[in-house]
Amino acid sequence: MDKVVATAEAAVADVPDGASLAVGGFGLSGVPNVLIEALHARGVGGLAVVSNNCGAMESGLAVLLAAGRIARVTGSYIGANKEFARQYLAGELEVELIPQGTLAERLRAGGSGIPAFYTPAGVGTHVAEGGLPLRYDGAGGVALSSPPKEVRAFDGIDHVLERGIRTDFALVRAARGDRHGNLVFNRSTRNFNPLAAMAGRVTIAEVEELVEPGAIDPDAVHLPGIFVQRVVGLTPEQAADKRIEQRTVSS
């Protein structure tokens, strides 16, 4: 039952080239930076990443992206990541952009054993009808487009069929975790981390505070240990490293 791994390097040692990864984080909040850095140090490439965004400010997934280690991204937000936009438009990166709520539900569905579901989000757009550029050809044209999806009416309202997401591995960050893998997330870090953790066949969690089993009130657990296979306790310095994308200081 003890799922603690001594180092982040050991925790990601079996992630191969071409693996699919669900990665937690919302903007720069709750990003598993230590695990991502360990993966970067291993030199793994050709990764298919599922995450709300692909990092920013040379942190998070932006580290792997800048090194050319990511082949495909499924997400909902490019944001201010100029390298993400450059690689996408240059045809170096395959990108599936989907509505944020749909992404969250696809992760949750995959982790819950639900192969697909219907949602009204995206009906009447290229999300349902196909034609979204998945990959550009580098010369201004589209090399690969998204296919059309099944649309079905329920109570007179059209809904589009979306597939649940399962990945080979998941990387997440939690505020607290015990040796059994029960996790607690802080505020907005809870937006995508639990869902990404559910979607991974092997889920690795870095925790800012590692506690013994029983130290977390069962009613306070946000993600039960059944979804987590490996736990890495962070050092105080690693836990305190919190990136801020836009620092604002009042007078």
pLDDT above 70: percentage of residues in the chain:
100
pLDDT in tens, 4-17: 999 999 999 999 99
pTM: 0.93
SS (H, E, C) the chain: CCCECCCHHHHCCCCCCCCEEEECCECCECCCHHHHHHHHHHCCCCEEEECCCCCECCECHHHHHHCCCEEEEEECCCCCCHHHHHHHHCCCCEEEECCHHHHHHHHHHHHCCCCEEEECCCCCCHHHHCCCEEEECCCCCEEEECCCCCEEEECCEEEEEEECCCEEEEEEEEEEEECCCCEECCHHHHCCHHHHHHHEEEEEEEEEEEECCCCCCHHHCCECHHHCCEEEECCHHHHHCCCCCCCCCCC
Query: Is residue 79 over pLDDT 90?
Result: no
In this prediction, residue 242 carries a pLDDT of 80
Residue 41 has pLDDT above 90, yes or no: yes
- Predicted local confidence at residue 193, as pLDDT: 97
Q: Where are the domains of the chain?
A: 8-115+164-235
pLDDT at 177 over 80: yes
Say which residue, 26 or 105, is predicted with more confidence: 105
pLDDT at 192 over 90: yes
CATH of domain 8-115+164-235: 3.40.1080.10
